[in-house]
Amino acid sequence: SNLCPLLIAPALGGQLLAKGVDVENYPGLPRENGGKMISIMKTQARSFFTEVWDDSVMSVNTAVTPFEIVTNRSGLIRAHMIIVATGADSKWLDVSGEWEFRGFGVSSCAACDGYLYKGKACAVVGGGDTAMEEALMLSRLCSSVQLIHRRDSFRASLVLVNRVLNNPNIQVRWNSQIHRFVGRTLASEEGASFEQK
């Protein structure tokens, strides 16, 4: 189609980099981990002559044609079309003690920090696909996993929900919310205080 695609990303693959579980819901791929999927995506993009830049977009001006994109390292780029794919960030609870205990028992990435809790009891908060994936991953490492969810049903895919509910190492705490993280010192990793509705 005679296009000159350019892909700008500071770390191509974003949240896929931390996926320690297999991704099963991507058409055309049977089961792959995040790193392998990124490699496949790069290969496919390059097969269509896409340039891949390790850079960050600082600003976009859509008031002019062609559009103007300013990057951190490469400077000004002009393009007739822009596709924005920003990915996702961790959702934090914004409760007492959460900020103080980040990195000391409170984490948002099982693939990154799960090994720190090997053989220990842990908890995962949420009801979507990410919470299910994190709980399943930690169930292979930890002595037990409490999955804390504020509702009485999950919004995650049925496949993941069934795996969680059938995993003997995961206990679900329905209608419950974390309201603070507690401990005597930052290194104590004592746990969380939660209440059931």
Number of domains the chain is built from: 2
When computed from its CA atoms, the radius of gyration of the chain, rounded to whole angstroms, is 21
Q: Which amino acid is at 163?
A: R
Predicted local confidence at residue 185, as pLDDT: 56
Domain of residue 121, residue span: 110-192
Note if 113 is an active site residue: yes
Residues of the chain with pLDDT below 50 are 186-189
Pick the catalytic residue: 112, 122, 129, 142?
112
CA dist 112 and 19 (Å) reads 9
Q: Would residue 94 count as lying in a domain?
A: no
Pick the catalytic residue: 22, 89, 94, 109?
109
Pick the catalytic residue: 22, 55, 94, 113?
113
Note if 142 is an active site residue: no
Predicted local confidence at residue 166, as pLDDT: 98
Q: Would residue 88 count as lying in a domain?
A: no
Predicted local confidence at residue 64, as pLDDT: 97
How many of the other CB atoms lie within 10 Å of CB of 111?
17
CB within 8 Å of 168: residues ≥ 6 apart: none
> CB–CB of 176/196 below 8 Å?
yes
Note if 89 is an active site residue: no
CA dist 46 and 15 (Å) reads 21
